[in-house]
């Protein structure tokens, strides 16, 4: 019988690869200086010389989207790395050892979860101040509980399985059991959570930058570009369309890729 194609995985992989290529190009090359102003090109419509047009300062939108996509990806990836790493470690140790470690860490986890994520991130930003690295720290802390809960539930379900008991009888250390025997088996669930977390980080960063409390100039930001161009939506829509499209494609690609990998793992 012919295997059914995993279209979700294919489309997600294509979109993600396209956006990764896009931001890599922006890392090494942009047609114009993203911050260079040109009064003569103010509100210039998309053309061969400016494929995405120009904004209200005459800055090339294509160059700014290239840089802004890289900034958004960096913030989302760093957020995921920070929150995911701490969350997985917390979930692994609480799920495996239980007892008072579980009680203390899970109660701290519950305190963080009791506040709406974006509201808690805004509180941290208010305390720390706006900026790329403060956004990463704030969102990373907010993402810890979700990774901790999923990892903990996976460890609780697996720590008494036969292969883990056999490893204990053979004298294998607790750390080896956690990181070599159990953790690799939680990857399918963590991949799905990572995809959701990445999308939330992309949208949260864009939202904070839109409000002016996220990534600050001179770093190009898709959210800030959307904020600056909203006043000219009717006269120069390209200022909003292209940054918005970049946010959508970046989030959609990773989301579909995560769903596709989860389906593949379930087959």
pLDDT digits (tens, 9 = 90+) for 8-34: 888 989 999 999 999 899 888 999 999
For 253-262, what is each residue's pLDDT tens digit? 988 888 887 7
Structure tokens at 208: 């904070």
Domain assignment present for residue 22? The answer is: no
Task: Identify the domain containing residue 195 by its residue range.
Answer: 27-266
For residue 193, what pLDDT is reported?
A: 86
How many structural domains are present in the chain?
A: 1
For residue 246, what pLDDT is reported?
A: 94
Domain assignment present for residue 76? The answer is: yes
CA dist., res. 169 & res. 167, Å (int): 5
Domain assignment present for residue 17? The answer is: no
Q: Is 80 exceeded by the pLDDT of residue 242?
A: yes
pLDDT-derived band of residue 267, with 50, 70 and 90 as boundaries? low
Domain assignment present for residue 20? The answer is: no
CA dist., res. 172 & res. 183, Å (int): 15
CATH number (domain holding residue 203): 1.10.3720.10
Domain assignment present for residue 73? The answer is: yes
For residues 102-127, average pLDDT: 80
Domain assignment present for residue 189? The answer is: yes
Domain assignment present for residue 117? The answer is: yes
**Nearest-5° Cα angle at 45, 43 to 50:** 100
Q: Is 50 exceeded by the pLDDT of residue 63?
A: yes
Count the helices and strands in the chain (H runs, E runs): 10, 0
Residue 112: count of CB within 10 angstroms of its CB: 16
């Amino acid at each position: 019988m012919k295997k059914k194609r995993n279209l979700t995985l294919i489309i997600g992989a294509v979109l993600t690869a396209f956006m990764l290529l896009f931001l890599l190009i922006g890392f090494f090359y942009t047609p114009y200086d993203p911050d260079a102003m040109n009064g003569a090109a103010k509100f210039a419509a998309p053309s061969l010389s400016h494929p995405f047009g120009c904004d209200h300062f005459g800055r090339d939108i294509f160059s700014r989207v290239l840089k802004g996509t890289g900034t958004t990806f960096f913030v989302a990836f760093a957020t995921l790395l920070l929150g995911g790493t701490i969350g997985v470690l917390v979930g692994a140790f609480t799920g495996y050892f239980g007892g008072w470690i579980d009680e203390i860490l899970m109660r701290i986890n519950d305190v963080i979860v009791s506040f709406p994520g974006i509201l808690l991130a805004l509180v941290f930003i208010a305390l720390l101040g706006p900026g790329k690295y403060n956004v990463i720290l704030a969102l990373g802390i907010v993402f810890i509980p979700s990774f901790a809960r999923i990892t903990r539930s996976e460890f609780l379900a697996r720590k008494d399985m036969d292969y883990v008991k056999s490893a204990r009888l053979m004298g294998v250390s607790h750390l080896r059991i956690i990181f070599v025997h159990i953790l690799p088996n939680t990857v399918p669930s963590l991949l799905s959570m990572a995809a959701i977390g990445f999308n939330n980080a992309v949208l949260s960063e864009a939202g904070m930058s839109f409000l002016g409390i996220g990534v600050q100039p001179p770093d190009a930001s898709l959210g800030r570009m959307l904020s600056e161009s909203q006043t000219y939506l009717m006269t120069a829509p390209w200022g909003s369309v292209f940054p918005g499209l970049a946010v959508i494609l970046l989030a959609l690609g990773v989301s579909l890729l995560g769903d596709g990998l989860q389906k593949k793992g379930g087959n």
